[in-house]
Amino acid sequence: MNRIFAIIQTDKLIFSYETKDIKKENIIKKLIYDKQYLKNNIELTSATINEIIKGKNINQVIINDFDLIYIVLDIIKEIKKIEKLVIVKNKILNYDICEKIISIDHIKYLECYHIAESLLDDFKDKNIDLFLRCEYFINNLFSINNIETYNDIYTKELIVFKNEINDNDLKYFKKICEINEYLNTINILGKFKTNDLKVITNSLIENNLNNVLINIYPENINLERSGSTFSDLRKLGKKIKKEHGITINTKFSDEYKTKNYIKQLNFYNFKTAIILIIMIVSFELLFIAQNMYQTTQDINDVQSLNPENVVIVEENIVIEDEEPTVVEPEVIPEPETNTNQNINTTPTLTQDFTKLLEINSDTVGWLTVNNTKIDYPVVQSENNKYYLNKSFYKKNSIAGWIYMDYRNNIDNLDQNTIIYGHSGMKNSIMFSSLNKIMKDAWLKNTSNHIITFNTLNANMKWQIFSVYVVEPTFDYLRNNYYDDGTRFTNFLNDVKSRSIYNFNVDVTNQDNILTLSTCYEQGTKRLVVHAKLLK
């Protein structure tokens, strides 16, 4: 079958071998090509179609036949109006097809059957919305929670079980937990068994989704007959609250409380409730205080390993002033105007990682940021969830630890090495002191512009070239750009333009960069620092 039809309708562009299933109404133009001719004349075809749709409300392409994908993607690459792509056949897209789609900057939406999960992060990085027609999205749980795309699964903060929980609901809830990183609330409105709740909590625990609030509405499961069930729930609630920070909370509707107020309320129950509230609040405060105390002790113990065995390594950086850096210098130097000027710094300190590796084999390096409290060993896990709630000693910790993105490699540096840490912690631990970078006094002191990040293999200095605050996004969290360098160059220009301060630093697609990322303004935004490797 060599004839290929390009059907231009009022709101879409369709590529197909056949036209019998294409509605003839609203057709503006029907172009017919020989397949070999089309392969040899991609640019001409693209220019022709681009001219035809000029001034028309067409931003969507539909590919009816799977083996037309490569040809069509080459055609629409230069048609900037095309933002949506629909692939009709129910086949999984391979790596080459996905990379080709991602390389088209103006594609913002893709509908297809499914793609390999290992490639989903790439679409997330490019802010391409995905609608997958596979079984994930064809089930009751997803329908109730308005989950239509992979992005919805990844970012969903609230999951509701509206009807009686069944095995299918639990199956897809496990899938949500495997993908999601933001889930914080679960509302159970329908009937369930104690074992259902155990499956739900186990799914959370297995995927390091801690500090989740589970709200149960008991009136929906007949309180009069569920005493044993709620006894089990209380035991389960105490256990997972202590070990994983997951809270099981029973909630009553206003209507229910009105109907049952007289029956439920008496002086004894009221007094008992007050005592329980005081005990729970006291326990919470004590737990937080103990956890933070232990975290501070762990930090002191780990940081004590830094100065014991150090080797001074001279870098190819000219040291103009050997006086130590002070937090608030009396004289604030003006920012440098020449990107190639020498920068005040100190020699690299190469840690003896032996003792650190004995404590935690996940250790990959040591990070120091001048005039902040950031002076920590850096760890790396098999995912980006584990060290959100684990200390360097792999104990449960509210503060977590400083960790490198699981995709990065210290043996062969990626284009973008990414390091994460919590903020908002007491005593300015982890990345909480990173917000000092936003102050003028810090920014104007050029000795602060050099970050030390030494790995097990190398001693490295990194020069800051951008600092900014941004809404929660993933566009700065890609580790590599597999093309001729254009996409990486565009990325570097973009993040430089966001910076709140002009560091006057040249950075190109030949550089390796370091990215520090943390929450800002109670988690509603992200504070980001980019620095390039000084070679």
User: Measured between alpha carbons, how far is 303 from 375 in angstroms, rounded to an integer?
Assistant: 7
How far is 53 from 61, CA to CA, in rounded Å?
Answer: 12
Q: Alpha-carbon distance 148 to 298, whole Å?
A: 43
234 CB-near residues (< 8 Å, 6+ apart): none
114-115 and 92-93 as β-strands: parallel, antiparallel, unpaired? parallel
As a whole number of angstroms, the distance between CA 435 and CA 429 comes to 12
- Starting from the edge strand earliest in sequence, which strands make up the sheet with 3-9, in order? 27-34, 3-9, 13-16, 60-63, 84-87, 109-112, 129-132
End-to-end CA distance of the chain: give it in Å, rounded: 56
Sheet strands (E) in 265-415? 310-313, 348-351, 363-369, 375-379, 403-404
Is the separation of the CB atoms in 512 and 415 below 8 Å? yes
CB 502 within 8 A of CB 475: no
Catalytic residues: 519
Rounded to an integer, what distance in angstroms lies between the CA atom of residue 204 and that of residue 190? Answer: 20
175 and 199 Cβ atoms separated by less than 8 Å: no
Q: Are 441 and 405 in contact (CB under 8 A)?
A: no
Show the tokens assigned to 248: 């099981």
What is the maximum alpha-carbon separation in the chain?
88
Integer angstrom CA distances of residue 253 from 193, 205, 247, 258, 434: 21, 29, 19, 9, 43
Nearest in space to 248 (alpha carbons), one of 291, 188, 292: 188
What is the C-alpha R_g of the chain? 28
Residue 375, sorted as left (phi over 0), alpha (psi -120 to 50) or beta, turns out to be: beta
